[in-house]
Structure 1
Amino acid sequence: MGSTGRRAVLDAALALVDEGGLGAVTISALTARSGVSNGSVYHHFGSRAGVFAVLYGESFAHCVAAMLPALDAGDAERAVRALVARYLGWVAEHPGRARFLYAAPSTADPAVKAEVFEPVARWFTARMAAGELREIPLWSLDPVVMGPAHECARRHLMGSLDLAVASDQVGDAVWAVVAPVG
C-alpha cells in the first residue's frame, strides 16, 4: 500500500468516525471503505489503534498549523483572540477531524502532541515572562484556557451552536483567563 492507500485508510477512518463514532471504525469497515486489503492495514498501521494514532497525530498537527498564524496577529490580546477565532474556524471547516480529536484523545502520543504544540507553548511562555499574559501552568492551556472554545466547538459539532456567532464571546472568555493581573 503506497501513500494513496494509506491516505485512503485514514480518509475512510475519518468518514466512519463522522458517521458512527469510534466504534464504527473496524478493520473490515476500513478495508471495505478504502479498498485496501486487510493485510495492508495491519502491515502499515499495525492495528485499529495504529490507524487512530496516525490519524490523531495528523489531525492535531493540522489543527495547530491552522492556529499558528494567530501568534503573529499583534499584541498578546489580539493574538489570543485570533488564536481562538482560528481554532473555531478550523473546527467549522473540518468537523470530521474535530469530532475525531474530541472522540479519541487517548490515542494521542504525548510526545508527538507536545512537539506539535511546542510553538504555541513557547509563545505563551515568552508572553508570560514578559508580563503580557498572566502566569499559568502550560498544562492548563488546553483544558482551562481553551475550555470555552472546546465547549463551543463541541456544541457546534452537535448542531446546537453557530461558531460565527459565538467567536467574539469565546475570545472574551479566553482573554479573561490569560489577561495580565493588575
Structure 2
Amino acid sequence: MARGATREAVLDAALRIVAEGGLEAMTVSRLAEVSGASNGSIYHHFGSRGGVVAALYRESFAELVGAMALALDDRPAATVVPELAGRFLDWIVENPTRGEFVYRASVAGLLPEDGTAEFKARVMAPLAEWFGARTARGELRPVPPWALDAVVMGPAHECARRYLAGPDSFDLKLARPEVEHAVWAIVRP
C-alpha cells in the first residue's frame, strides 16, 4: 500500500472497529487485520494505538468544525449562530460513527495532553474570529473563545450525545429548532 493509502486504510478500519465494538476493540492487531496494513506499518505511520486515536480524532474534529464554518458569512449573527448549531447536528446525523468517536475519545483519556488544546484552538480559530468580530460590533454578548465549544454549543452537544446513545429514541430533527434557539439565546446581546 502507498503511504497515504495505508494511513487512510488504517483510519477507515479504526472507524469500523469502533462502530462494531467500541474504543476497547481497537487494538493494533485488529487494525492490521481490518485494514490490511502490517503492525509495523501502523507503528511507522502512527507510533502507537494512541497515535491512531489522535489522528482520527483530529481528522473528525476538523471535519465537524469545517462543516460548521460553512455558515460563517456576513449575514446577521441572529441567522448565522442558529445555523452553526444546525450544521453541527446535521454533521452528527450524517457521521454518527465519527461523532461518537469524537465524544468517546475526548472523555476516555486517550488523546495526548500535548498539542490537543492547541490543535482545537487552531481548528476553531475561524469561529473564534467570527464571534470576536460580531462581539465587537455589538451583535453578540462577549464570550471567551474557550467557551465557544463548551458553553455556547452545550445544548447541541447534549442533544448529539442523546441521539448517538439511541438514534431511534431521540429525534434530533425535532430537537434542532430548540437547540438552534437555545444556542442563540446563550450569545445574543
What TM-score results when the alignment is normalised by the length of structure 2? 0.92
Structure 1 runs, 4 residues or longer, greater than 2 Å off: none
Alpha-carbon offset, residue 84 of structure 1: 0.5
The change in CA–CA distance for 1:148 and 1:73 in structure 2 (over 3 A counts) is: farther
The unaligned stretches of length 5 or more in structure 1 are: none
User: How many angstroms apart in 1 are the aligned matches of 2:170 and 2:74?
Assistant: 26
The unaligned stretches of length 5 or more in structure 2 are: none
Match of 1:142 in 2: 149
User: How many angstroms apart in 1 are the aligned matches of 2:179 and 2:94?
Assistant: 18
Match of 1:121 in 2: 128
Q: Secondary structure of 1:138's match?
A: coil
Deviations 1:32-76 (A, max 9, x none): 110110000001100001011111111111111111111127200
User: How many angstroms apart in 1 are the aligned matches of 2:74 and 2:30?
Assistant: 43
Alpha-carbon offset, residue 16 of structure 1: 1.2
Match of 1:158 in 2: 165
Percent identity between the two aligned chains: 56
User: How many angstroms apart in 2 are the aligned matches of 1:161 and 1:41?
Assistant: 37
User: How many angstroms apart in 2 are the aligned matches of 1:38 and 1:93?
Assistant: 31
What TM-score results when the alignment is normalised by the length of structure 1? 0.95
RMSD: 1.2
User: How many angstroms apart in 1 are the aligned matches of 2:143 and 2:63?
Assistant: 25
The change in CA–CA distance for 1:30 and 1:73 in structure 2 (over 3 A counts) is: farther
